[in-house]
Amino acid sequence: MMTIADKNNLVVADGIRKSFLVGTQTVEVIKGISLKIAKGDFAVIFGPSGCGKSTLLHTLLGLEQPSDGKVYVDGKDYYGMGDDEIVRFRKNNIGIVFQQPIWIKSLNVLENVCVPNRLRGLSLEEAEEKAMVALKKVKLEDWHGYHPNSLSSGQQQRVSLARALTIDPLILVADEPTGNLDTVSGDELMELLRSLNQDEGRTVIMVTHDLEYLRYATKLFHIIDGLLAEEIDEKGARKLAMTLRNKKGSRGGETVQDGDYLKKSGKKYVD
Ligand X SMILES: Nc1ncnc2c1ncn2[C@@H]1O[C@H](COP(=O)(O)OP(=O)(O)O)[C@@H](O)[C@H]1O
CA 93, 207, 76, 66 torsion: positive or negative? positive
3-state secondary structure 143-183: HCCCCHHHCCHHHHHHHHHHHHHCCCCCEEEEECCCCCCCH
Verify binding: residue 22, ligand X, rule CB under 6 A.
yes
In Å, how far are 29, 117, 156, 208 from 46, measured between CA atoms? 15, 31, 24, 5
Q: Nearest approach, Cβ of 126 to ligand X (angstroms)? A: 35
From the list Mg ion, ligand X, none, pick the one residue 197 interacts with, judged by a Cβ distance below 5 to 8 Å according to partner type.
none
Q: CA-CA distance, 254 to 200, in Å (whole number)?
A: 35
Q: CA-CA distance, 210 to 208, in Å (whole number)?
A: 5
Verify binding: residue 5, ligand X, rule CB under 6 A.
no
Verify binding: residue 24, ligand X, rule CB under 6 A.
no
φ/ψ of residue 163, rounded to 5: -65, -35
Neighbouring residues of 106: CB distance < 8 A, sequence distance ≥ 6: none
Mutual orientation of helices 153-165 and 124-137 as an angle, nearest 10°? Answer: 130
From the list ligand X, Mg ion, none, pick the one residue 219 interacts with, judged by a Cβ distance below 5 to 8 Å according to partner type.
none
Verify binding: residue 99, ligand X, rule CB under 6 A.
no
Stretch that binds Mg ion, among 16-24, 48-56, 100-108, 134-142 (CB under 5 A): 48-56
Q: Nearest approach, Cβ of 237 to Mg ion (angstroms)? A: 20
| Identity of the residue, 165 or 174, whose beta carbon is nearer to Mg ion in the bound complex | 174
Verify binding: residue 179, ligand X, rule CB under 6 A.
no
**Interaction pattern, residues 137-176, with ligand X; x per rule: CB under 6 A:** ----------------------------------------
Footprint on this chain of Mg ion (rule: CB under 5 A): 54
Footprint on this chain of ligand X (rule: CB under 6 A): 20, 22, 27, 29, 49-55
